[in-house]
Chain A
């Protein structure tokens, strides 16, 4: 899983019918100092994360391992909202 920050939302009316009802967030990758990297992904949100939230994302086929995304065409999912990270020096 990797750390990211929700920076926006994607709206799409015309989409695969399996994706109806999901919310899509733009998640920029973060480093351990909460500094935004240049790269981002569009991820399906399963925990009602909002813009500005630091989140954990799961990618690849593991992204289909939630009740919401099971057998759906999804390759990135937000599965936790981060409260705190402790990093040893």
Chain B
């Protein structure tokens, strides 16, 4: 699992049948100090995260597991909203 911040939303009418009704968010990956790491990506939001929130997300084939469908072309899913990160200096 990785950390990211939700930075935006994607709208797509014409999409794969298994993606109908799933919400897609743009997320910016970040490290435990909340610094940006790498390029933004699009993830399916299964927890109702809003723009600006810190989230946990999973990637690859496992990203389909939390979805309400058996099969979907999804390689990233948001699975939790992060309230707090405790980090030892």
A residues adjacent to B (C-beta < 8 A): 1-3, 31-32, 46-48, 56, 58-63, 65-67, 69-70, 77, 79-88
Contact = CB atoms under 8 A, between A and B. Distances in A.
15 contacts: A2-B41, A2-B42, A32-B40, A56-B12, A61-B60, A62-B61, A65-B73, A65-B74, A80-B16, A80-B19, A80-B24, A81-B14, A82-B10, A82-B11, A86-B9
Contacts of A65: 18, 61, 64, 71-74
Contact of B13 (A46, A60, A83, A88): A83
Contact of B60 (A56, A62, A67, A85): A62
Q: A interface, by DSSP: helix, strand, loop or mixed?
A: mixed
A56 B16 CA distance: 10
Contact of B43 (A1, A60, A79, A87): A1
Interface SS majority for chain B: mixed
A3 B41 CA distance: 8
Contacts of B43: 1
Nearest to A3: B42
Given A65-B74, A70-B71, A86 B8 contact: yes
B48 interface: no
B9 to A, nearest CB: 5
A77 to B, nearest CB: 5
A88 B6 CA distance: 9
Nearest to A83: B11
